[in-house]
């Protein structure tokens, strides 16, 4: 009888084995790590067809029904985190594939990155660094923005948005917030003021996005909102690319109206010839929001434990518990 085959996906920085002890799994299964993005959907299917178990890193690899239907050997997807918009849970249940999950990370790393992008945009730090590396001084650098006394607009006042708001207040910024469900009282409890969406985008000097992607929030930041931003304002997104109308954002950036600091995109990894890579008023990061050692270790350790539980005949925490009912699977 052949040993189960485990695939660890999208380990871009090659640190899965450094952050987690996989020895208990190795004793009963073969492990393969994939560190490069897939060339195509067919490439993904071809390489993953032999595997029984997949350790899925957040939403880096999409697994829609049309992909899952081409992976006949798959029995378990060990998902990191508790939410995903790129995995078809219904298709997994239909095919009898268990989907385990981990707790969310206690880290505020994505919020810290948003603040880092805010500072980098406000003082043109990448351009300044390039000048110094190139033997120049202040030639061609845009004038910086002092953040104290400026208005920070936070879109989404959950855990990460609240963290950014607190730092903004500590910097002496005027902090306002908006989301579809945010009330004036809830904002006031966190020391900020709720405003309507148009006012936030029209008046803020910095806008930072901290929403969960759903059908309701897809493109919630539309052309009207982006076009309302004042000249020289800064737009930060470390949440999810599809929250924003990307075509509208590119148009506003091409017009030189605003600066942006982006960590997330409609297509990831961002294609080499993507327009955002060509614009001088954008600072780009390769979806690093949660990518810090303690957060990844948390995700991978729980993912490995879920795999081990499965291999030992137990039932890990399941996103699709109906899969245990034979009538729901084919």
3-class secondary-structure state, position 121: helix
Catalytic residue among 94, 287, 298, 302: 287
Candidates 95, 151, 240, 298; catalytic one: 240
Tokens describing residue 90: 């219904």
Q: What is the CB neighbour count within 10 angstroms for residue 48? A: 22
pLDDT surpassing 60 at residue 329 = no
pLDDT at 330: 54
**Res. 225: pLDDT tops 90:** yes
Q: How confident is the model at residue 328 (pLDDT cuts 50, 70, 90)?
A: low
| Collapsed DSSP state (helix, strand, coil) of residue 150 | coil
* Contacting residues for 203 by C-beta, under 8 A, at least 6 apart: 151, 153, 176, 195, 230
Q: Is residue 240 annotated as part of the catalytic site, yes or no?
A: yes
Which whole number is the average pLDDT over 133-140?
96
Cα 277-279-285 angle, rounded to 5 deg? 45
Residue 287 annotated to the active site: yes
Q: Which domains does the chain have, with CATH numbers?
A: 5-105+293-328 (3.40.50.720), 109-284 (3.40.50.720)
Least Cα distance to 234 among 167, 147, 170 occurs for 147
Per DSSP, what are the bridge partners of residue 5? 30
188 in active site: no
Averaged over 57-79, what is the pLDDT?
Answer: 93
Rounded Cα distance between 51 and 2, Å, is 12
What is the average pLDDT score of the chain?
94
Q: Which residues of 173-182 are buried (b: 16+ CB within 10 A; e: fewer)?
A: bbbbbbbeeb
Alpha-carbon span 65 to 62, nearest angstrom: 10
Interval 17-57: pLDDT, tens: 999 999 999 999 999 999 998 999 999 999 999 999 999 98
Nearest to 290 by CA among 239, 328, 325: 239
Catalytic residue, from 59, 246, 268, 302: name it: 268
pLDDT in the model for residue 130: 96
Condensed to tens digits (0 to 9), the pLDDT of residues 159-209 reads 999 999 999 999 999 999 999 999 999 999 999 999 999 999 999 999 999
**What pLDDT is attached to residue 295?**
87
- What would the pLDDT profile of 269-308 be if each residue is shown by its tens digit? 999 999 999 999 999 999 999 888 888 898 999 999 999 9
Rounded CA separation 70/62 (Å): 14
Q: How large is the angle between the packed helices 109-123 and 125-133, nearest 10 degrees?
A: 60
By percentage, how much of the chain surpasses pLDDT 70? 98
Confidence of residue 1 (pLDDT cuts 50, 70, 90): low
CB 200 within 8 A of CB 227: no
Q: In terms of DSSP H, where are the helices of the chain? A: 16-19, 23-26, 41-48, 65-68, 89-95, 109-123, 125-133, 159-170, 184-189, 197-203, 223-227, 246-254, 293-311
Q: Exposed, middle or buried, 66 (CB in 10 Å: 0-12/13-18/19+)? A: exposed
């Amino acid at each position: 009888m052949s040993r189960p085959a485990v695939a660890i996906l999208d380990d871009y920085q090659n640190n899965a084995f450094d952050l987690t002890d996989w020895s208990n799994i190795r004793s009963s299964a073969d492990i393969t790590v994939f560190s490069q993005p897939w060339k195509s959907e067919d490439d993904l299917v071809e390489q993953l067809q032999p595997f029984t178990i997949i350790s899925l890193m957040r939403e880096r690899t999409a697994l829609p029904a049309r992909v899952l239907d081409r992976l006949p050997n798959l029995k378990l997807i060990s998902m990191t985190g508790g939410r995903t918009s790129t995995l078809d849970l219904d298709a997994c249940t239909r095919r009898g594939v268990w989907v385990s999950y981990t707790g969310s990370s206690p880290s505020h790393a994505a919020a810290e990155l948003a603040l880092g992008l805010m500072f980098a945009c406000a003082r043109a730090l990448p351009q300044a660094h390039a000048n110094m590396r190139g033997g120049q001084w202040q030639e061609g650098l845009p004038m910086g923005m002092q953040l104290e006394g400026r208005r920070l607009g936070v879109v989404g006042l959950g855990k990460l948005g609240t963290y950014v708001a607190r730092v903004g207040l500590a910097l002496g910024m005027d902090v306002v917030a908006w989301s579809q469900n945010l009330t004036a009282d809830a904002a006031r409890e966190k020391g900020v003021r709720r405003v309507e969406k148009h006012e936030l985008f029209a008046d803020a000097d910095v806008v930072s996005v901290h929403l969960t992607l759903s059908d309701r929030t897809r493109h919630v930041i539309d052309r009207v909102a982006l076009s309302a931003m004042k000249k020289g304002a800064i737009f930060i997104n470390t949440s999810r690319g599809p929250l924003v109308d990307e075509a509208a954002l590119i148009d506003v950036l091409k017009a030189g109206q605003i600066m942006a600091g982006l960590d997330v995109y409609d297509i990831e990894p961002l294609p080499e010839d993507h327009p955002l890579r060509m614009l001088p008023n954008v600072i780009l990061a390769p979806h690093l929001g949660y990518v810090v050692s303690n957060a990844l270790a948390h995700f991978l350790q729980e993912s490995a434990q879920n795999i081990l539980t499965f291999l030992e005949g137990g039932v890990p925490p399941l996103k699709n518990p109906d899969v245990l009912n034979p009538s729901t699977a084919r």
